[in-house]
Amino acid sequence: MVLYPMDINQQSVAQIVKRDKLLKVTSTSPSRRLERRERLRGEILAAAGKMFADRGYEAVTLREIAKEIGYTHAVIYQHFPDKSHILAELSRETIGLMIQNFDAIAAEHPASKERLFATSRGLIQFCVAHPQQFRNVFFGPESRNGIRAGQYINDIGAPLFQRFVQLFFDVAKDEGLPNKNDIVVAHTWWFSIFGLATLMVIQGVVPDLPDQTLVVEQTIATLWAGVQAVPRLPKSAITKRSGRSSASKH
């Protein structure tokens, strides 16, 4: 049996192990850094989202968000330049989920009328199931990076609303509704469904009120009856408005 000097063998093995560890760390560290960065970004968004919804956007500071996740506020600046960018990211994420929800439901219903009914239900169900996200997007501050909340929400929500309007026009064509190109009717349906969702988020479950599912179904049935019978403003209402306009000119 051949015996090798222990100091030479130990030195060689130590060098090999050190080299292998160095190669391993060097080859995996970029992906690990990216993973850690994404994980921290997610923690910031999750903490901020809950705090915004619970206490209101204006009442929450970056220092408080950082404290919630166990970091200094300087760490947040590595991911977001200010608080408004956190809210913007939360808003985009929520609208993206609403679009995914809409598309998934729409794909399950070949008939356009059933698609309209199902996506209307789905919008309400999504809002009620995600009150925190809903509040952050739609109950946020009036000014968002210098843009009024209404315009801001309209801009980021445009892809979702455009899907709905196109679906409504498809229904009007397939079902033979008169004045099928009147976008005011589509807006009316949208606002009614969205308004009901908002009210349910604000109220939560109220034991003394009728079952929410029945309220949703009654609302959809009433809207459908309405667009069939009165697809746009009655002529009497248009005449009154025109009369006031004419009078104001004199």
Q: pLDDT tens digits for 199-242?
A: 999 887 666 777 888 899 999 999 999 888 876 666 665 555 44
* Euclidean distance between CA atoms 150 and 83, whole angstroms: 19
In this predicted structure, what is the pLDDT of residue 31? 79
CA pseudo-torsion sign 98, 99, 102, 105: negative
Q: What is the pTM of this model?
A: 0.76
Give CA–CA dist 223/41, Å, rounded: 42
Q: Which of 50-64, 74-88, 112-126, 198-212 has the lowest mean pLDDT?
A: 198-212
Sole residue written with tokens 């080299």: 19
Cβ atoms of 87 and 57 closer than 8 Å: yes
Q: Compute the C-alpha angle 59/64/66, nearest 5°.
A: 140
Give the pLDDT band (50/70/90) at residue 158: very high
Average pLDDT of the residues in 192-198: 94
Hey, how many other C-beta atoms are within 10 angstroms of the C-beta on 76? 24
Eight-class DSSP state of 144: E
Cα–Cα distance, 16 to 21 (Å, whole number)? 9
CA distance 101 to 95: 10
State the Cα angle at 211 between 208 and 216, rounded to 5°. Answer: 130
Q: With pLDDT > 70 as the criterion, what percentage of the chain qualifies?
A: 77
User: Is residue 169 scored above 50 in pLDDT?
Assistant: yes
Which residues are CB-neighbours of 97 under 8 A, at least 6 positions away?
126, 130, 133
- 148 pLDDT band (50/70/90 cuts)? confident
| φ/ψ (deg, to 5) at 208 | -80, -10
Cα→Cα distances 32→25, 26, 28, 35, 210, Å: 9, 10, 6, 5, 52
pLDDT at res. 21:
45
